[in-house]
Amino acid sequence: MAVEAKNTIVEPIVKAFDCLHFIDGKFVPSVDGKTFNNVNPVTEEVYGTVAEGSKADIDLAVAAAKRAFEEGPWGKMSVQERSKIIRKVGDILEARQEEIAQLESLDTGKHLKFSRHVDAPRAAANFHFFADYMISVGTEAFQDEVHGAINYGYRRPIGVVGLIQPWNLPLFLLTWKLAPALAAGCTVVIKPSELTPMTATKLMEIMKEAGVPDGVVNIVHGFGQGAGSAINKHPDIAGIGFIGQVSTGAKIMEEASKTLKKLSFELGGKNPNIIFADVDIDEVVETTIKSSFTNQGEVCVCGENIFVQRSIYDEFVEKLAARTRQLKVGNPFDMAYDQGALVAKVHYDKVMSYFKIAEEEGATFVTGGKRPEGLDKGYFVEPTIITGLEYGARCTREEIFGPVVSIIPFDTEEEVIAMANDTRVGLSNTIWTNDIRRAHRVAQSIESGLSYINCWFVRDLRTPFGGTKDSGLGRVGGVHSWEFYTEITNICVKL
Ligand code: NAD
């Protein structure tokens, strides 16, 4: 893929900075003074350091969160008062959108077009949504006429919550967990991904400006084995909201089991796009470009397996390939490009390793399968379309989480449902057909938490979100988030 030099580079208004922990309202180094390097995914240069947390830092953060919950004003505030502060966080994020978007692109390598359009506005929207939602949600009540009693549910926050975060949509996903936790009245200890610490750190400034009291939100940076594991085991943490890989979820569950924490997991997937022959191919190609390569394919609901009914298979492959070749990969701050870099070397190496596996499995690379020509530095990968693999090959089964899709033909509805269900991870799927009965029938037959019919990545924040089988635990969104961050007491009153 050629790299064209055009002078359309956005003037940066942000700079990389060193990230400290944020404990009890103050930015602090690690107790033992340890740090690690933050690497720019575009230049491969170290552009900052990050405090490396351990058990000692988590202990301080949990103690601050516990004090804020038990003694501070947060737990005693009405939901209306909390909602005002949470709304203000959203307002500040909205006012500083360009800065947030640039910082996210700097830290992750993702293109600014995406962080402007999705990451930054959605972070603000998460706070606005939960500020409104929590003041309007009701509680359940039952009239028991047999015993002459009424029963109603009384909800209270669960206490201190640990939020362990991934790198792909760092602030978007953090705020998706944090806003409902705060609205419910919990206090929080956050561990951002070690690969993307900057926007979470910036958010702490915004929290302070909005009037969130000290100790309510704390951050400890670091790795899974240190800070992460200390969250899993801490007896004063009541619940963990985790987003990340299936294997990490299993480790967290194992360590957290000793203290019986509540767990909410949003984990990996291998999502099928199912395209029947009765569709408008051009329309499907446009959305499939997005569901394949948005954010360099680093979105948990991207469709990595594209199943296409045989009679339109060749035409679809040709049109998707032609459109894919138009995507330009390069500097995320240059508007001449569409896609940026992958987040880090470790992830770049993983994606590249699948190209070798695909080759060994006998795949054909219709597009991509390599770095873009002319880009010697940075974790850039060409948008890649693979064909010629049977469903069951490793590239069709394992989550690659990069700009890589496999296209696989099918003949019948039964056959494609069987392939879509033959996986341990059922997060989302996309179904394309103009036959309304078939659309519903297929959506109801596939074991996944989310089904998009003739669309993709369209979210109503009130609806349940989460995965089936090994792809998650519980649901989030609207009332589902509220249920996770609160305990309910049934109060039975004899009249
Ligand atoms: P990861 O599991 O490697 O890391 C996520 C977080 O867990 C990081 O902060 C990491 O430091 C921490 N961690 C690692 N080991 C730990 C341990 N033993 N105890 C506690 N914490 C630990 O995931 P990742 O690579 O950052 O994220 C990519 C994955 O996230 C993909 O699988 C993707 O599908 C998934 N994801 C899922 C959703 C969803 O909504 N289902 C959304 C985004 C990403």
User: For 321-331, what is each residue's pLDDT tens digit?
Assistant: 999 999 999 99
What 3-state class would DSSP assign to 143?
Answer: strand
The token pair at 485 is: 């961050």
If one compares 5 and 419, the residue with the highest pLDDT of the two is 419
Q: Among candidates 173, 231, 161, which has minimal Cα distance to 200?
A: 173
Catalytic residue of the set 194, 266, 361, 399: 266
Sign of CA dihedral 160, 165, 171, 177: negative
Q: Which residues contact 483 (CB under 8 A, 6 or more apart)?
A: none
- 144-190 pLDDT, tens digit per residue, is 999 999 999 999 999 999 999 999 999 999 999 999 999 999 999 99
Q: What is the best residue among 174, 295, 300 to mutate for testing ligand 1's pocket, by most ligand atoms within 8 Å of CB?
A: 300
Distance (Å, rounded) from C-alpha 261 to C-alpha 232? 8
**Residue 266 CA, ligand 1 centroid: distance in Å:** 9
pLDDT band at 75 (very low <50, low <70, confident <90, very high): confident
Distance in Å from the first CA to the final CA of the chain? 75
How far apart, in whole angstroms, are the C-alpha atoms of residue 180 and residue 189?
14
Ligand 1 pocket, residues with Cβ under 6 angstroms: 164-168, 173, 191, 193-194, 223-224, 228-229, 232, 243-245, 248, 251-252, 266-269, 300, 399, 401, 427, 467, 472
Please report which confidence band the pLDDT of residue 411 belongs to, taking 50, 70 and 90 as the band edges. very high
Closest residue by Cα to residue 245 from 470, 446, 476:
470
Does this model's pTM top 0.90? My answer is yes
Say how many Å lie between the CA of residue 248 and the centre of ligand 1.
6
Averaged pLDDT, 23-45: 98
Report how far ligand 1's centroid is from the alpha carbon of 139 (Å).
33
Q: 347 C-alpha vs ligand 1 centroid, how far in Å?
A: 12
Helices (H), 167-228: 170-184, 198-210
Give pLDDT, residue 7.
Answer: 63
Q: Where are the alpha helices (DSSP H) in 310-397?
A: 310-325, 345-360, 394-397
| Site to substitute for ligand 1 among 36, 245, 264, 473, most atoms within 8 A of C-beta | 245
Is 266 among the catalytic positions? Answer: yes
Mutational pocket test of ligand 1: of 168, 251, 299, 354, the residue with most ligand atoms within 8 Å of the beta carbon: 168
**What is the structure's pLDDT at 65?**
98
